[in-house]
A and B are shown apart, each in its own frame.
Chain A
């Protein structure tokens, strides 16, 4: 593979040493790997630019977007979008062998950029692409990588403090990469807020060659089968989400969640136990190990609110919980609560919403 030999690991407890090794001191600036596929930037990359902006400002350094893809023109347009979302510069690797994501050439492109321009922080979206790439790049560079962070901060020693849920989401832990660079982290879609777009904001473009021929790349993309059910992808980005938990008591009763969702034009989902019981499919799971959501309104019916669920929904503007148990943990982070049986309240809400919205139709 493309790896340059990594610096030998420091002796002793490598991660615990106080002083950053000399050859890492030149590492500067915050980078966001910008996922660009099928003609569009993945929203998680723009969310990361928003978060990366804050880190860069705290450190007093620049924020760069990293764009890897098949055509230069497309990447230049995408770079403009990065600038408008907070990037000061964009590093481009354009080569026709990079048209579709493949681990080997993308790993080479990204590790070559890191070794050449030496960023101190490198953030990637925790998508199937980002996770596939991050693991290879971190191993090639022999540096630390923290997955699925829910909070990023800079401590008083300029070190990235990456906080993530641990033990199935029951506790949080803060992880540092003290003596290696770059400090790498992935963040799931919707965990960070989308930054405001600043139209007309521009930046500097740096282009870098890949230097790899198609013959050197072992894996070939035979074809790409786009998902037909585009709704499945919408859950993370829906404005309104209705979800159910074990309080629904049976798979059949989950229909009550779907009924309310239909009236509201909402997406629906459920807690992890429902996936384990087979009541809903895994792509409908909401929580740390499923989808993170940031809707304007989240209605949680019969969900107790374990921490692993909480971290997936905390970004919602308004959480309405329906639970028979006034002591359920979800009442600690919901804004409004109806303490009653979800099996009764859900159909009542469905009826009440349809009444109100249809009255308006007649009046309008």
Chain B
């Protein structure tokens, strides 16, 4: 089975700092990682190949340095990495991104065999949109399975798949036909450790680098800024509230006294909260009887 996993190289959000004076992002020296949600997709793809045979192609779009994330994915056992990089792709919103990626996935299928499953993480930690997965599915007419917690069954010969999908208020068990696009929910598996063999291979592997032309993108006007219907008009820091929090208590008060003082202030400002709490206390006391 041939599986494509879409990943994204993102800044490690734990390390992002905002400049205290200019309120702009300080990008310098921020380490990059594979979007953590994508690792659940990669692990699930590798497990399917372990079980059923096949290979995993990892695909990313980004600047040349995004090659590092592909090499990292190879250390876990992916077969090959494809980097989509071109100045035409710069400034893509989610619609333009899904266009470029879907062209590349088509090309990957032509080069290395038909693709049965395209995996993605449920969203990225930098954009948080969750829109690129459904965009790819729509463009390639793949059956769309988002927020998948578990793949119950997959039969390549019969061309069928059954999954458990996180829905509002419960889990939907869905059956559909291959090829599919699957976005994996976090916490559904645990990423394996890379092996030494894979690490050695990854270090010297040739990463396939495609520009728009090589990826078979028919219309560069649908890529990058030009192909993006959304426009970012303004980036700004949130305005602080006019007044700061009122500090409860005085120096030297015990924790018990602080707690009492806080409750006094709370009930004085919001009598309805006090009334609600008394109602709750009364009903829960009745329940205990």
Residues of A within 8 A of B (CB): 1, 3, 9, 11-16, 35, 37-38, 42, 100-104, 107, 127-129, 131-132, 134-136, 138-140, 142-148, 161, 165-168, 170-180, 218-227, 233, 239-240, 264-265, 276, 282, 288-289, 296-297, 307, 310-311, 317-321, 326, 330-340, 344-345, 348-349, 351-353, 356-358, 360-361, 364
Q: How far is the CB of A96 from chain B (nearest CB, A)?
A: 17
Q: A288 contacts which of B18, B128, B186 (Cβ < 8 Å)? A: B128
Chain B residues with CB under 8 A of A175: 230-233
CA distance A90 to B141 in the complex (A): 30
A317-B270, A364-B282 given; 15 more Cβ-contact pairs under 8 Å:
A9-B226, A37-B168, A142-B95, A147-B130, A166-B235, A168-B125, A171-B25, A172-B238, A173-B234, A179-B229, A225-B170, A225-B171, A296-B276, A318-B273, A357-B277
26 chain-A/chain-B pairs, Cβ below 8 angstroms = A1-B138, A1-B141, A13-B226, A15-B93, A15-B231, A128-B165, A131-B131, A132-B146, A135-B132, A138-B95, A142-B229, A146-B230, A168-B16, A172-B235, A172-B237, A173-B232, A174-B232, A174-B234, A222-B174, A226-B170, A296-B276, A332-B240, A336-B246, A352-B256, A361-B281, A361-B285
Chain A residues with CB under 8 A of B145: 219
Chain B residues with CB under 8 A of A165: 128
Q: Given contacts A142-B229, A224-B172, are A148 and B128 in contact (CB under 8 A)?
A: yes
Chain B residues with CB under 8 A of A224: 167, 170-173
Top 5 nearest A-B pairs by Cβ distance?
A135-B134, A144-B229, A357-B281, A348-B259, A144-B230
Q: How far is the CB of A5 from chain B (nearest CB, A)?
A: 13
CB–CB A361/B255 < 8 A: no
CB–CB A222/B276 < 8 A: no
Chain A residues with CB under 8 A of B138: 1, 3, 107, 135-136, 139-140
CB–CB B25/A337 < 8 A: no
B203 at the interface (CB under 8 A from A): no
Chain A residues with CB under 8 A of B240: 332-333
CB–CB A220/B174 < 8 A: yes
CB–CB A336/B248 < 8 A: yes
Chain B residues with CB under 8 A of A226: 169-170
CB–CB A139/B18 < 8 A: no
Minimum CB distance partner of A166 in chain B: B235
CA distance A332 to B243 in the complex (A): 7
Residues of B213-233 whose CB lies within 8 A of A: 219, 221-222, 225-233
Minimum CB distance partner of A297 in chain B: B273
CA distance A352 to B1 in the complex (A): 62
CB–CB B259/A349 < 8 A: yes
Q: How far is the CB of A47 from chain B (nearest CB, A)?
A: 15
The A interface is mostly helix, strand or loop, or mixed, namely: mixed
Chain B residues with CB under 8 A of A321: 245
CB–CB A178/B231 < 8 A: yes
CB–CB B241/A333 < 8 A: yes
Q: Given contacts A171-B237, A178-B231, A221-B172, are A338 and B249 in contact (CB under 8 A)?
A: yes
CA distance A103 to B240 in the complex (A): 41
Q: How far is the CB of B184 from chain A (nearest CB, A)?
A: 13
Q: How far is the CB of A199 from chain B (nearest CB, A)?
A: 23
Q: Given contacts A173-B232, A310-B238, are A14 and B227 in contact (CB under 8 A)?
A: yes
Q: How far is the CB of B39 from chain A (nearest CB, A)?
A: 13
CB–CB A332/B241 < 8 A: yes
Q: B259 contacts which of A307, A339, A352 (Cβ < 8 Å)? A: A352
CA distance A159 to B80 in the complex (A): 44
B284 at the interface (CB under 8 A from A): yes
CB–CB A223/B173 < 8 A: yes
Q: How far is the CB of A7 from chain B (nearest CB, A)?
A: 11
Minimum CB distance partner of B13 in chain A: A168
CA distance A215 to B46 in the complex (A): 33
Q: How far is the CB of B277 from chain A (nearest CB, A)?
A: 6
Q: B263 contacts which of A15, A101, A356 (Cβ < 8 Å)? A: A356
CA distance A14 to B261 in the complex (A): 59
Q: A320 contacts which of B16, B219, B256, B266 (Cβ < 8 Å)? A: B266
CB–CB A345/B255 < 8 A: yes
Chain A residues with CB under 8 A of B94: 135, 145
